[in-house]
Structure 1
Amino acid sequence: MSVAALAGVELTGGDLRLGAVRERTPAYTSYDVTFASTTAGEGSNPLRISGVLNVPTGPEPQGDQGWPAVVLAHGYIDPSSYVRGQGMTRERGFLAERGFVALHVDYRNHAESSDDPRIETAVRLGYASDVIAAAKALQDSTDVRVDPGRVGLFGRSMGGGVMLKALAIEPDLFAAGVGWASVSSLEAENFDQFQRPDAPAAELEAGFRGRHGLPGEDPEFWRGVSSRPVFGDITAPVLLAHGRYDDTCPPPWARASQRALTAAGVDSTLEWYDDGHAFGPAFVAAMERTVRFLRNRMPA
């Protein structure tokens, strides 16, 4: 149960199915979609993952080349209240208006996606499997013509951590990675920031007993489910964007991740904005920078 172990598994994805039209604008059409993703158990049936897909309006790309595409990995929202497509609606629309197919992934255990009972035990490693499956579903689709060599991955907050893991697990799949207001690339730090303050120590220990220890008890496990130790496997360029006033994901996390990426030989950039975790005033500037980065790394 680690990022490295998941990299040794043949992860599947495909069977992208377009459902109801959610929205039509002059720039794009938005669809409810589902696709297949790998399960945790060997020999099990694939999970069905839901999501929302924006397809640009206008003539399709000519010749063999399809649309550039971006898979979106949203941040943490309580699965019990989460609804399809929640968390990156602004980003999805912005990208589609600029000529990118944009696929928002709901993740397993969210919205209309299948449930995976092991998701918490595996510290949500399955979310990385789901965004990988989304990219493969886009590449294989006959309904939406996507250029297989121009698929990027864009995650925010928790999704930024998902993005880094997915790039390490499938180094040749994504042409570029973007992380906004990302969580730490060390899962022990995320545990201390988000889980430890919300429950008494005895309750946390009881919840993890029989699976793995807390970070202080089982550091090897927590490093294994982190992306930083395997940054050397990442081949795609990475853009990180972070608010100077982020009080959810501390700015030092972004600096540490970017330095570790660079030390591992990854082409990485960290952009700072005078904003908090939600990217309000800086949203347009950060998105314009993101689009320039994606276009440079996924040229027509």
Structure 2
Amino acid sequence: MIPFTEEATSRFVDTPSGTLHFHEYGEGHPVVFLHGSGPGATGWSNFSENIRTLGAHFRCLAVDMPGWGRSAAVSPADRCHHRTAVEFLDALGIDSAAFIGNSMGGATCLKVAATAPERVTHLVTMGAGGGGAKLFGPGDGPTEGLKVLQRAYRDPSPESMRALVDIMTYDPAHAGDALAEERSRNAKSNPEHLANFISGIGKDRPHRATDAELAAISVSSLIIHGRDDRVVHWENGLKLCTIIPDSRLVMINRCGHWAQIEHADEFNRLVAGFVGARSVESREAVLSR
């Protein structure tokens, strides 16, 4: 197996949505990891410690989506991540894969599972939004965490990023200065990504799965949510588990928005068991449920 370093695992591939940067590590059933929407987010920053472990079992593919990391820039109007995710599989010659997504990445995974179910063998989300009315969480307007995220886009300084990683996590041990500085460097490396995201703040997100689409998802789904998530309230995880027929919810106490980072060992065990124990079924079996 190749050395596990950021550069040794780095790859590029061309798609109709533009050039995508991704990290590839391991062999076996393909697992696609999709990051969240925060400034400086990349496949590596969100999932490096997960693919280090899970690469022993699966072919791990952590993608920088258009508008993030080292992938092509895109305007909010032209951004369609669920279409890009399918193009990514096509470009690599992958028939179907397990999809794992954090926050925005989770929303993308849900939309892929709803609109291209034959391409998804397993679905895992962490901190994904459920849409619609809320009973317990904040009502109209952005949450406390999303307000900090938006400020960090406008001011991607290490100080702003420290506030961002603080609110993304429950345990301060996972929100150190090194991570804040890494996110700041990532964000500042491509000002066009920052400007494009800022221009889309407050506008509709037409590519989120509707309740009807969620209810039609046939793939086995694992919903993971932090009980202390201040970015996307845990109620969203409960809603997703209620609507998606073949789903189960794991809610973790003392956990913020980054379950895969704060509880990496438990997350890796859950994913390895879920994807591995539920051996990859044929697409026909999945769709016939």
Normalising by structure 1, report the TM-score. 0.64
Higher RCO (C-alpha 8 Å, min separation 6): 2
| Pair 1:173–1:187, CA change in 2 (3 A) | farther
2:234 corresponding residue in structure 1? 251
The one-letter code sitting in structure 2 at the alignment partner of 1:172 is E
- Counterpart pick for 2:82 among 109, 128, 136: 128
C-alpha separation in 2, matches of 1:191 and 1:131: 28
Structure 1 or 2: larger strand share? 1
Structure 1 unmatched runs, 5+: 1-20, 40-46, 57-66, 141-147, 200-210, 216-220
2:111 corresponding residue in structure 1? 165
The answer to whether the aligner puts 1:238 opposite 2:216 as a matched pair is no
| Pair 1:94–1:183, CA change in 2 (3 A) | farther
Max Rg structure = 1
Cα contact 1:186–1:227 (8 A) shared by 2: no
Cα contact 1:84–1:112 (8 A) shared by 2: no
SS in 2 for 1:247: coil
Cα contact 1:175–1:297 (8 A) shared by 2: no
Q: Deviations over 1:117-145 (max 9, x none)?
A: 2xx236x4x222222222233335xxxxx
Cα contact 1:24–1:30 (8 A) shared by 2: yes
2:13 corresponding residue in structure 1? 35
| Pair 1:292–1:245, CA change in 2 (3 A) | same
1:5 corresponding residue in structure 2? none
Q: Deviations over 1:194-222 (max 9, x none)?
A: 369969xxxxxxxxxxx99968xxxxx66
Structure 1 or 2: larger helix share? 2
SS in 2 for 1:85: helix
Normalising by structure 2, report the TM-score. 0.66
The answer to whether the aligner puts 1:88 opposite 2:47 as a matched pair is yes
C-alpha separation in 2, matches of 1:236 and 1:299: 11
SS in 2 for 1:86: helix
Cα contact 1:175–1:298 (8 A) shared by 2: no
SS in 1 for 2:268: helix
Structure 2 unmatched runs, 5+: 152-198, 282-289
Let me know the Cα RMSD of the aligned residues: 3.4
The answer to whether the aligner puts 1:192 opposite 2:153 as a matched pair is no
1:297 corresponding residue in structure 2? 278
What pairs up with 1:39-188 in 2 under 5 angstroms? 39=17, 47-56=18-27, 67-78=28-39, 81-82=40-41, 85-97=44-56, 99-117=57-75, 120-121=76-77, 124=79, 126-140=80-94, 148-149=95-96, 151-186=97-132
Shift of 1:157: 1.8
| Pair 1:84–1:180, CA change in 2 (3 A) | closer
C-alpha separation in 1, matches of 2:131 and 2:12: 29
Shift of 1:92: 1.6
